[in-house]
Amino acid sequence: MSVDKLITDNLAVWTGAVTRKSTSGRGSNGKLEMTGIKKLRELILELAVRGKLVPHFDKEEPVRELLDRIGEARASLVADGTLKPVKPSPILTDAETPAHLPACWSWVRLEEVCRYIQRGKGPKYSDNGRARVVSQKCVKWSGLDLVPARYIEDDSLKSYQRERFLLDGDVLWNSTGTGTVGRVTVAGEVNEKCLVADSHVTVIRPLLISEKFVAIYLSSPDVQKKIEPTHEDSLVSGTTKQVELNVAAVKALPIPLPPLAEQHRIVAKVDELMALCDQLEQQQAGNLQAQQALVETLLRTLVEAGDANETHQAWNRIAEHFDSLFTTEDTIDQLKQAVLQLAVMGALLPQDPEDEPAHEFLDRVAADKNRLAKVGRIRKLKNLPNVKAEEMCFPIKRGWEWARLEQFSIVGTGATPARDNLSYYEPPAFNWVTSGETEEEFIFDTKEKVSQKAIDDTNVSIYPAGTLVVAMYGQGKTRGQITELMIDAGTNQACAAISLICRDSFHRKYIKLFFEKSYEELRSQAAGGAQPNLNLGKISQTVIPIPPLAEQKRIVTKVDELMGLCNSLKARIQQAQTTQAHLADAIVEQAVA
């Protein structure tokens, strides 16, 4: 089967473009499609370097003759002093060349078909000069990008031998860098640009063969897999976190070599098929962007609906195209957020006029809080500022009330006992929560424990199960996350502990879902420089729309039901990803067999 037909016949598998009405779909941000195209690119490269991409022609110059010409050219370069004499390369073993090649191809070591393979060297940089330095940031899969290239000090250029200056057609292979090691590109017209490579880039200068074919081979899955320290034929040294491409291994790397004319045909076909992949990616990116915009618009009309009739109409518009709209993890996350927003606005369910108004519920909570203060169970109450009009984000339903969190809860925090005092951690006696653990929906255990002495000597307080914990600061997405203690535990100072006066579980779940809805808004209130933080005052002053207690229970029940449906949709998407990945792998195996 030709590769062109393979691509056409299996396009749905590569791109993840399954039938929309099946509600199968793509991963977050179209990752399934992009993964499919990535696999397609890998297949193209693998077929190219195994001689299965273009036809072979008997009348072309045999590869043996090409190798003879390369040998003569190398000898001539050695004779005129351009190339240093090198020892003959070790004969290739069967273990080094497991892949079967066409009869007109031959395995050779990379060093045998190049006149120069060398890492660059660390330069002395300057603000200007006549030469620039190619770093690993400049070497992109899409080509050589000189925007990040810095200048080299003119005086230091005197120590550079002629061969260190880059030439047209040099193959540049990143030798180090997390996320950059292994990237390959071919330098274009560089003679007049006066470029050198730094020590993070290996320069490969082919001799009488196609530099683009060399780059194709170095980009192929077989070679890229070897840029792992755990690979049995690894080309790198170092750890999984920091690897370094070994020049000796690069020189000794076996490369499958076709006749020169076939090399050029392979390069042309790869360019053609990669252009097709580019088109698919652009098409999918455009489709995904349009889908995201449509979902955002429809969900916004749903959330901003002025009355029950508008809400009903907006929901009908979404329901008619539900399977077409919510086909990615991102769109489902948007749907979840809309559900939470509707929930705290009272727009998910009809109201019951028989419900006890929220102000009566809050009055009872206030009375309970006063009693606790009088008997010394909690600190003396302070007067809270009234909720201002500008703090009321949206109109609330009849029977609801705006209230500050501290009106119906106790908000506290914790501390980190001195790390150099082992007696604060041994023997472990109490669970102790850090802000990073708030990423879990519930906390059933903690990574660290503290001792009784830590409780006696420091500000660590033990909060009961059912306490809500909000991260006030932390790296990445931590700040603003909320979790619920399922055990008694203390916290560090980066957490706010919310102990609700009313112990009703539905009330607690309602407050928790409000904080889940308000994650981004809460994060935006953080202050500080490199790592913005929230504080206890901002958490305790949070303004929350409070429904009647009976309505809180109905809202929580409905949200749980809808979130369950959303999670089921996500599970189906993930299953679709797995199935399509298996199909793509099967097609690859069929194509290269």
Tens-place pLDDT, residues 13-59: 555 533 322 222 223 334 444 566 787 888 889 889 999 888 999 88
Instruction: Look at residues 558, 196, 70 and name the one whose alpha carbon lies nearest to residue 347.
Output: 558
String of b and e for 508-527 (b: at least 16 CB within 10 Å)? Answer: bbbbbbbbbbbbeebbebbe
- The mean per-residue pLDDT over the stretch 60-76 comes to 93
11 vs 407 pLDDT, higher one: 407
CA distance 69 to 113: 10
- What does the pLDDT look like over 166-204, one tens digit per residue? 999 999 999 988 788 999 999 987 765 689 999 999 999
Q: How far is CA 278 from CA 2, 123, 142, 286, in A?
A: 20, 36, 11, 12
- Lowest mean pLDDT segment, chosen from 225-234, 419-428, 494-503: 225-234
What are the distances in angstroms from CA 559 to CA 336, 514, 553? Answer: 9, 11, 10
Q: How does the average pLDDT of the chain come out, rounded?
A: 86
Q: Worst-scoring range by mean pLDDT, 16-25, 390-399, 436-445, 518-527?
A: 16-25
Position 526 scores a pLDDT of 82
3-state secondary structure 54-109: CCCCCCCCCHHHHHHHHHHHHHHHHHCCCCCCCCCCCCCCHHHCCCCCCCCCEEEE
Q: What are the residue ranges of CATH 3.90.220.20 in the chain?
A: 61-258, 358-547
User: Residue 445's pLDDT band (boundaries 50, 70, 90)?
Assistant: very high
CA distance 318 to 454: 54
**Mean pLDDT (whole number) for 66-72:** 94
CATH number assigned to the domain covering 61-258: 3.90.220.20
pLDDT for 494 equals: 95
> What global pTM score does this model have?
0.63
Lowest mean pLDDT among 50-54, 149-153, 569-573: 569-573
Q: What is the pLDDT of residues 497-533, one digit of tens each?
A: 999 999 999 999 999 999 999 999 999 888 776 677 8
pLDDT for 575: 79
Report the alpha-carbon angle 509-540-436, nearest 5: 65
Confidence of residue 428 (pLDDT cuts 50, 70, 90): very high
**Percentage of the chain exceeding pLDDT 70:** 89
Would you state the pLDDT for residue 31?
Answer: 46
Span 358-547: which CATH code? 3.90.220.20
**Whether the predicted pLDDT of 584 surpasses 50:** yes
pLDDT of residue 447: 95
Q: Would the pLDDT of 223 be above 90? A: yes
Of residues 497 and 325, the one with the higher pLDDT is 497
- DSSP at 353: T
Angstrom distances, CA of residue 493 to CA of 207, 371, 487, 533, 562: 64, 28, 19, 11, 35
